[in-house]
Structure 1
Amino acid sequence: MKLSIRHETIYRYTALLAYTIQQLRLTPREELQQHALSWQITTSGQRHAYTDAYGNLSHMLTITGQYDALSIVAQGLVETIYPYQGRLNAIETLSPLIFSVATRLTEPTPQIMDFAATSFAGNLAGKTFNTHGKTQTPEALKLAELIFGAIEYQSGATLVTTSADDALSLGRGVCQDHAHLFLACCHAHSIPARYVSGYIDPGTSSHAESHAWVDVWVEDSDFSGWVSIDVTHARLMTDAYCRLAVGRDYDSAAPIRGVRRGGGEEMLDVNVQVMPVQQ
Structure 2
Amino acid sequence: MQLSIKHQTNYRYTAPLAYTIQQLRLTPRLESHQRVLSWHMHTSGHRHGYTDAYGNLCHTLTINGVHKEVAIVVQGLVETTRPHLGRLMDAETLPPLVFTVATRLTEPSPTIREFVAKALPDASSFHTRELLALAEQICAAVAYRSGSTIVTTSADDALQLGSGVCQDHAHLFIACCHARGIPARYVSGYIDPGNTEHAASHAWVDVWVCEKLFAGWVSIDVTHARLMSDAYCRLAVGRDYDAAAPVRGVRHGGGNEMLSVQVQIAAVSNGHSLV
Q: TM-score range by the shorter chain?
A: over 0.9
AA of the residue aligned to 1:76: G
What residue number does 2:56 align with?
56
Deviations 1:154-180 (A, max 9, x none): 000000000000000100000000000
1:1-279 pair list within 5 angstroms: 1-121=1-121, 126=122, 129-130=123-124, 135-279=126-270
Structure 1 residue 211 displacement after superposition: 0.1
Q: Point out where structure 2 has 5 or more consecutive residues left out of the alignment.
A: 271-275
C-alpha separation in 1, matches of 2:9 and 2:129: 37
AA of the residue aligned to 2:260: D
C-alpha separation in 2, matches of 1:118 and 1:144: 13
- Structure 1 vs Structure 2 CA RMSD: 0.7
Structure 1 residue 67 displacement after superposition: 1.1
AA of the residue aligned to 1:238: S
AA of the residue aligned to 1:220: E
Q: Secondary structure at the match of 1:145?
A: helix
C-alpha separation in 1, matches of 2:65 and 2:211: 55
Q: Secondary structure at the match of 2:120?
A: helix
C-alpha separation in 2, matches of 1:48 and 1:163: 31
C-alpha separation in 1, matches of 2:68 and 2:157: 34
Q: Secondary structure at the match of 2:29?
A: coil
Structure 1 residue 246 displacement after superposition: 0.2
AA of the residue aligned to 1:86: G
TM-score by length of 2: 0.97
C-alpha separation in 1, matches of 2:153 and 2:249: 18
Structure 1 residue 149 displacement after superposition: 0.3
Structure 1 residue 277 displacement after superposition: 0.4
C-alpha separation in 1, matches of 2:257 and 2:101: 33
Q: Point out where structure 1 has 5 or more consecutive residues left out of the alignment.
A: none
Q: How many residues align?
A: 270
Structure 1 residue 118 displacement after superposition: 1.5
Deviations 1:30-70 (A, max 9, x none): 00000111001100000000000100000000001111111
C-alpha separation in 1, matches of 2:268 and 2:212: 36
